[in-house]
Chain A
Amino acid sequence: MTLRELYLLSPVIILGLGTIILMLQAAWKRQPWLAQSITVLTLMATTAFLIFEFPQSTTPITLLFEYEPIGSFFALLVLMASLSVALLQGAYMGPNSAEVAEEFYLLLLLSSMGALLLVMAQHVAGVILGVELMSLSMLAMLAYNRERKLALEGAIKYLLLSGTSTSMLLFGFALLYAASGELNLTLMLAADMTPMSEAGFVLVLIGLAFKLSLFPLHFWTPDVYQGAPVNSTLLLTSVSKAAVFAVLLKLLLVIPEAFEADITRMLSWMAIASMLLGNWLALRQKSIKRLMAYSAIAHMGYVLVAGVIALGIDHSLVLEGASYYLLAYLIASIIIFAVITYMSQLDAQEDLDELPKLQGMFWQHPWLATIMALAFLSLAGMPITVGFIGKFYLLTLAVKLSAWWLLSAMLVGSAVGLYYYLRVVFALFSPQQGAIPQVAGYSVSKVWTGLIALSLILLGVLPGIIGDQLKTILSIG
């Protein structure tokens, strides 16, 4: 390893150092606000490094990792989500929680580190380390409140199913290795495709589709989302989706010609089924967390459309569309979960996410209700929000490729989606019924949520701010 490689590995090294400092701090003197500050500073330092040293081209870092534009953009998304979780945790936990505070931040840093390793991976070992570091620390966070029975139930379901999907992922990689004799992701797929390697690639896709909760592997999503403490749900829906999607996209970009038609067909059906089923099942949900789970299934279907199109044509435009859409999804999810986080307490048996209980929230918390409504409108794809631009990108791409089936599923899904997103918005603004709890927020996290909400509008009105950047960085990679 040269000094240059070591330097480019800094994001991971900074996160690792932060983790060690946090462990020492917890051993020396427990102090929740100090742990939170260390976490936030570590995440900000990592973000700063990634922004100032944004890669112009692909540089390998040892055999296992590489520093390249696509992965780095997704790494920034991951860090944005982790930063939100870290900032929200203080108020969510409250000053006199029965649970320990420091370990949450520790797990948060570890899981961001896993996500970063995952987006940087160019070797099977890197993928395994990244995926497992990320999902195992997340698993511990899903059951963070030890007294919450539903959280435990969700975590056990996630443990068993995620273990199964990991074994499929590994089996798939093993078959690809057996067929090609290479462990590098690109070289592995560049070798001649035999039936064995095709089976392997499909297994790998299934393993990744589980983490993205795409159609046939979506069953765990609603239960885990509803059971977990809301802040951990936010992490699950943002960090793990963004990082895994980066890997999927990278694999799809190097897939051999001969195999493209089959995979396109398979992924198209998965995308169509996810979009329709996710939106359809979300219609009847009362719990916002559960609604967001089904909405996640649908939205991952939309993003997968970009992946399918990536197989066809013009890679840079597709990357731009997928990245923008994922950014839009992340911004909206962060806002929605942040609002629920402000109203809930970790120590309670359940979070305040039942729609009837939130009725008339606008009259008590006008700002929170407004940004939440905006986020839901963005998920529905209303103009002047960032979600509209994301959808616009994908629709343009689908039209360009004449993928009519995908296009019609997207339109039908969006129409159904509009109905249940608007239902939430109407509930927020209807006359107040029950008492809505007071919000005990810390000013820093409120400012951060405000910034995210501002970016939701700003990027919707002026998409060029990020769009042009994306175009230049992704076309080189």
Chain B
Amino acid sequence: MMSVPMEHGMTLVALLWAVGLIGLLARRNTLFMLMSMEIMLNAAALAFILAGSHWQQADGQVIYIVIITVAAAEVGIGLALLIRLRQHIQDLNIDNLDRLKG
């Protein structure tokens, strides 16, 4: 079986992660920011699969499953917070969250 060279894979991971980061910084809608965060988490998870296949170990995939599980829990709480946000300010725009400063 031909495996993907490490450099190519890591470049993909870094790009995906950068896409997530740019999304987080540029988006104003909290839901999309949450999605961008997920992209970053999944980029990191993909890196584990890549490394696992490079070393011919199953461990990378095990960690991947752990990360997916954890990310699901994170989104669960995140969406609950978004529902509260929507009820408070009828909007998901992050710029409205500016009352804490100093």
Interface residues of A (CB under 8 A from B): 124-125, 128-129, 132, 136, 139-140, 143, 146, 149-150, 152-157, 159-160, 163-164, 166-168, 170-171, 173-175, 177-178, 181, 183, 196, 222-223, 226-227, 284-285, 287, 290
Q: Chain A residues near B55 (CB, 8 Å)? A: 177, 181
| Chain B min CB distance to A246 (Å) | 20
Apart from A125-B62, A166-B41, A170-B41, list 16 A-B contacts with CB within 8 A.
A128-B70, A139-B81, A143-B84, A157-B100, A163-B40, A164-B21, A167-B41, A170-B67, A174-B44, A174-B50, A175-B10, A177-B48, A178-B51, A181-B51, A181-B54, A196-B10
Closest chain A residue, CB of each to CB of B82: A156
A183 near B37 with CB under 8 A, answer no
A222 near B77 with CB under 8 A, answer no
Instruction: Given A128-B67, A129-B66, A132-B73, check contact A171 B100 (CB 8 Å).
Output: no
| Chain B min CB distance to A398 (Å) | 32
Instruction: Given A160-B34, A164-B40, check contact A183 B63 (CB 8 Å).
Output: yes
Q: Chain B residues near A290 (CB, 8 Å)? A: 102
Instruction: Given A152-B81, A167-B37, check contact A174 B24 (CB 8 Å).
Output: no
A136 near B73 with CB under 8 A, answer yes
Q: Chain B residues near A183 (CB, 8 Å)? A: 59, 63
| Chain B min CB distance to A16 (Å) | 16
Interface residues of B (CB under 8 A from A): 6, 10, 13, 17, 20-21, 24, 30, 33-34, 37, 40-41, 43-45, 47-48, 50-52, 54-55, 57, 59-60, 62-63, 66-67, 70, 73-74, 77-78, 80-82, 84-85, 88, 94, 97, 99-102
B44 near A171 with CB under 8 A, answer yes
Closest chain A residue, CB of each to CB of B89: A149
Q: Chain A residues near B85 (CB, 8 Å)? A: 152, 156
Q: Chain A residues near B100 (CB, 8 Å)? A: 150, 153-154, 157, 222-223, 226-227
Report how many A-B pairs have Cβ atoms within 8 Å.
125
A125 near B66 with CB under 8 A, answer yes
Closest chain B residue, CB of each to CB of A131: B70
Cα–Cα distance between A181 and B33 once the two chains are bound (Å)? 33
Q: Chain A residues near B21 (CB, 8 Å)? A: 164
B33 near A160 with CB under 8 A, answer yes
Q: Chain B residues near A156 (CB, 8 Å)? A: 30, 81-82, 85, 94, 97
| 12 A-B contact pairs sorted by A residue (CB < 8 Å) | A128-B63, A136-B73, A140-B77, A156-B81, A166-B74, A167-B40, A167-B44, A170-B41, A170-B47, A171-B44, A174-B48, A174-B50
| Chain A min CB distance to B44 (Å) | 4
Closest chain A residue, CB of each to CB of B55: A181
Q: Chain A residues near B45 (CB, 8 Å)? A: 170
Cα–Cα distance between A287 and B99 once the two chains are bound (Å)? 14
B24 near A153 with CB under 8 A, answer no
- Taking chain B's interface residues, is the majority helix, strand, or loop, or is none over half, making it mixed? helix
Instruction: Given A167-B41, A170-B44, A171-B44, check contact A153 B99 (CB 8 Å).
Output: yes
B74 near A136 with CB under 8 A, answer yes
B43 near A125 with CB under 8 A, answer no
A174 near B84 with CB under 8 A, answer no
Cα–Cα distance between A319 and B44 once the two chains are bound (Å)? 32
A164 near B37 with CB under 8 A, answer yes
| Chain A min CB distance to B88 (Å) | 6
B99 near A171 with CB under 8 A, answer no
Cα–Cα distance between A222 and B101 once the two chains are bound (Å)? 8
| Chain B min CB distance to A162 (Å) | 9
Which of A125, A153, A171 meets B97, CB within 8 Å? A153
Cα–Cα distance between A118 and B57 once the two chains are bound (Å)? 24
| Chain B min CB distance to A63 (Å) | 10
Closest chain A residue, CB of each to CB of B92: A156
| Chain B min CB distance to A66 (Å) | 18
A178 near B24 with CB under 8 A, answer no
Cα–Cα distance between A164 and B102 once the two chains are bound (Å)? 23
Q: Chain B residues near A166 (CB, 8 Å)? A: 41, 74
A167 near B81 with CB under 8 A, answer no
A152 near B43 with CB under 8 A, answer no
Q: Chain A residues near B13 (CB, 8 Å)? A: 171, 174
Q: Chain A residues near B70 (CB, 8 Å)? A: 128-129, 132, 136
B41 near A178 with CB under 8 A, answer no
B24 near A164 with CB under 8 A, answer yes
Closest chain A residue, CB of each to CB of B48: A174
Q: Chain A residues near B97 (CB, 8 Å)? A: 153, 156-157
Q: Chain A residues near B37 (CB, 8 Å)? A: 160, 163-164, 167
B81 near A178 with CB under 8 A, answer no
Q: Chain A residues near B81 (CB, 8 Å)? A: 139, 143, 152, 155-156, 159
Cα–Cα distance between A24 and B45 once the two chains are bound (Å)? 35
Q: Chain A residues near B101 (CB, 8 Å)? A: 223
Closest chain B residue, CB of each to CB of A135: B74
Q: Chain B residues near A285 (CB, 8 Å)? A: 102
Closest chain B residue, CB of each to CB of A155: B81
Closest chain A residue, CB of each to CB of B51: A178
